[in-house]
Amino acid sequence: MIIMNLLKNWLIIVGALIMLISLSPIQKLKQQLPEGALRGKWDMLRMLILFFVASYLVFVVAQWNEYVDTSDLIVPFVFFFGAIFTLLTSSLAVQTARDILRITTLEQENITDPLMEIHNRRHFNRRLTEEMNRAHRYGTPLALFIIDIDHFKNVNDTYGHDTGDNVLKKIATLLQDHVRRTDIIARYGGEEIAIIAPETTMEVAEVLGERLRESIANAILVPANEEHPDIKATVSIGIAGIEKTITNNERFIQCADIALYEAKEQGRNRVVIYECTQSETM
């Protein structure tokens, strides 16, 4: 009887310690979460664990010297293995959260241009296919912008590539500030940037294109220092809208490229809309 009583008390005390240990990974997990309802739920779990710990310790104190038989060990064993389950669950939750964060970070890096911190060409191609399929399926408009920085080579040649990189970063930031969260902005290549604008008519796209062009033309992209004056630049923008006859990425991009070419031919620093069909060729 004495041995069984000691076993009962040992099971509950050790179980309580295990449950207290499980609070540590839960706290770490909570710190990784943004403010909101999810944090509150993990706080609630912590409070429930503390409640169970306190309840079972009271149970031990109340029955410390009472003799027990085999059936009386059921509750202590359930509590002990429940504590192990809680520790394993909380530890796995923390590890899973870390793995998800790591995977998300890797995926984000895989689709992000490291210099401009916008999407890269790979992600652009995939999303363009998705948005074209969606536009055809639901009959919604879709606009594609191709933006080129005018005379960007002169910036690199005159002020160096570091300054040129700063110009690219600033323009990317300006574009992000003026597009919707649903728009997809990506580095298309070199100093060219592409924007996919779902559910955007040509009329709306032209207004947006002018707003983008003006915001860049009026901005000081790199402030003056001892090596150079304030650096400004302009952009040429070609815009194409999807038609039912356009069923592949290449033709849609070709239409936007034609519009961009016309913008350059007309003197740069302008927006050109190009209406095209699948049967047209360059």
Helix H or strand E segment including 27: helix 2-32
Do the Cβ atoms of 155 and 227 come closer than 8 Å?
no
Give the start-end residues of each E strand in the chain.
142-149, 184-189, 192-198, 235-241, 271-274
Active site residue: 109, 117, 191, 262, which one?
191
Contact 201/141 with Cβ under 8 angstroms? Answer: yes
The Cα–Cα gap between 171 and 149 comes to 9
Residue 114: Cβ within 10 Å count: 8
* Phi, psi torsion values for 38, nearest 5 degrees: -65, -40
Active site includes 199? no
Q: Annotated active-site positions, please?
A: 191
